[in-house]
Structure 1
Amino acid sequence: MPENTSPLPVASGVFGDKPVLTFPDTPAPGDLAVQVLSRGDGELVEAGDDIEVNYYGQVWGGRMFDNSYDRRSSISFPIGVGAVIGGWDEGLVGQQVGSRMLLSIPPHLGYGERGMPQAGIGGTDTLVFVVDIVGTRRR
């Protein structure tokens, strides 16, 4: 994964807390940027696992479009197999359970040129997620 030189947003809070993102006055990175905000000590997430996470998603410099913290319910899905956006597959495989991650996901690894209009995501929007990795299960 290329080293990111663009500043990334700063996320408030700790694992389990709904974060608040503060964005730098710079453009979003053009490539996937993955930052470990706090490293867990659980097992490694492998491609093909079912991963359980809490997440907060916001358009770079824009508004929050979805989060699981307000619902007080984590979500589970297969990781590393194309079931979710590419930035999640690439950024979460190989991380440890208990980690809090920051992902900056360019459009080509997010929802692409079509975006996701029902969520207010345009085709050129970079997405920023804070993801708390709650668990992983081998399939």
Structure 2
Amino acid sequence: MKSVFQMIATFACAVALTACGAAANTEKPVVLDPNTQVKELLFPDLVKGTGTAAAAGDTLTVAYTGWLYDASKPDGKGVQFETSPPLQPFTFVLGIGKMILGWDRGLVGMQVGGTRRLLIPYDLGYGVSGTRDRVTNAVVIPPYAGLVFDITLQKVEKK
């Protein structure tokens, strides 16, 4: 009798765990057609800066906002996925491979005080794999996603 009860309890737990696992995996993968995305890196200046120009190896301080590229939206700005906090600009070294290639290539020559829009093809962004949130594992950047960033250069520290 005791072993029958254990078997039923084990079976019930297995069914419950299977159901929980199936319910947790309801996220549909976003599949983007690379043919509808940005084809080449574009980096027009929206506001021309007048200060020091950025070069590889310099430490840059920027404020930025990033969107998934969507050709059907104005300026290609689809879903916003990230922005720098207003009082916490982002600092990094340009051109050493710590950032996506679109940033390392698209910010060279930008001058302090300027704002530049980067339109980044997937192969200079997060590639064929995209990226996920480290905590929730939710997709942040889908595979093959083109990106749009508006970046204001606040400071350049020469190497």
TM-score by length of structure 1 reads 0.76
Cα displacement (A) at 1:85: 0.4
Structure possessing the higher radius of gyration over alpha carbons: 2
Task: Quote the residue 2:131 is aligned against.
Answer: 116
- Please, which of 85, 103, 112 is the counterpart of residue 88 of structure 1? 103
Write out per-residue CA displacement over residues 89-124 of structure 1, whole angstroms, 9 at most, x where no aligned residue: 100011111110000001100011111122620111
Question: SS of the counterpart of 2:102?
Answer: helix
Structure with more of its chain in helix, by fraction: 2
Cα displacement (A) at 1:81: 1.5
Structure 1 gaps, min length 5? 1-26
Note closer, same or farther for the CA distance 1:59–1:95 as it changes in structure 2 (3 Å cut). Answer: same
TM-score by length of structure 2 reads 0.67
Structure 2 gaps, min length 5? 1-35, 71-77, 134-138
- Please, which of 43, 46, 61 is the counterpart of residue 52 of structure 2? 43
Aligned residue pairs total 112
Task: Quote the residue 1:74 is aligned against.
Answer: 89
Question: SS of the counterpart of 1:33?
Answer: coil
Structure-1 separation of matches of 2:63 and 2:56: 18
Structure-1 separation of matches of 2:93 and 2:113: 17
RMSD between aligned residues: 1.3
Write out per-residue CA displacement over residues 62-84 of structure 1, whole angstroms, 9 at most, x where no aligned residue: 3111001x443101000011110
